[in-house]
Amino acid sequence: MTLYQPFLDYAIALLQERLDLAPYPIPMGFESKSAIVGKGKHQNEVLTTSYGYQAPKLRQIRAAHVQGGSALQVLNFVIFPQLNYDLPFFGADLVTLPGGHLIALDMQPLFRDDAQYQEKYTQPILPIFESYKPHLPWGGDFPAEAQPFFSPAFLWARPQQTDVVETHVFAAFKDYLQAYLTFVEQAEPITDTQTLKKIEQAQLRYLHYRAEKDPARGMFTRFYGSEWTEEYIHGFLFDLERKLVVAKE
């Protein structure tokens, strides 16, 4: 059992329970990929497994699970809403490296500077955020260019102990995901043309940023080569731009 498998199992079970879930197509060659890294007794297999789902209000629910033994464990789990809802994104980046753990958990807003939007989607989860702060203190520097894409309830921590991940981080992941699905259940479709345009622009802005700055790019390139990596990032992890081009043809 790897560190983040229980997170993934929990998320999929909860989604199946609360949503009308359907598979989301994963392009050929990306369902799973493995590589042998290191030499001699330090040799290790790294396995990346992809998961994809969709639901009536959610365009893409996807996960990339990287298992590389004690030196490397990663779960990247993101939910992208359909373009006719003003829902935030759900994002969990859970990374374990030899030096410790990097934990990023948030409902990433479409409109960071819109007070009404924050009242609707951030205020309700601030109590959850506050309840975890004592156990998961702020992880320190964060790039200024990334800040517009995160909410005031962004949980960013660098715990050293694995048991903190297994307890507090797992509990926070559950609470954030449950709260997000409540937002999804309550969400009403947007029909105003101008707002729909703003939503599409905000989603594309977020995807451009994430695809361009994906922190996993170096890791995946090292394991699987740059051609596979770029196709994985643009063709599956952040595929909205391509989907829109196809839709408009």
* pLDDT band at residue 164 under the 50/70/90 scheme: very high
What is the model's pLDDT at position 249? 58
Over range 78-102, report the average pLDDT.
94
Q: Is 48 within 8 Å of 220 (Cβ atoms)?
A: yes
pLDDT tens-place string over residues 165-197: 999 999 999 999 999 999 999 999 999 999 999
Asked whether the predicted pLDDT for residue 161 surpasses 70, the reply is: yes
pLDDT tens, 19-55? Answer: 999 999 999 999 999 988 877 777 788 899 999 999 9
Confidence grade of residue 154 (pLDDT, cut at 50, 70, 90): very high
Place of tokens 């042998």: 36
Alpha carbons 28 and 19: distance in angstroms, whole number? 26
pLDDT at 247: 66
pLDDT at position 112 is 87
In CATH terms, the fold of domain 5-191 is oxygen-dependent coproporphyrinogen oxidase (3.40.1500)
Q: Domain ranges in the chain?
A: 5-191
* Cβ contact 21:15 at 8 Å: yes
- The pTM assigned to this predicted structure is 0.94
Task: Please give the Cα distance from 50 to 213 (Å, whole number).
Answer: 20
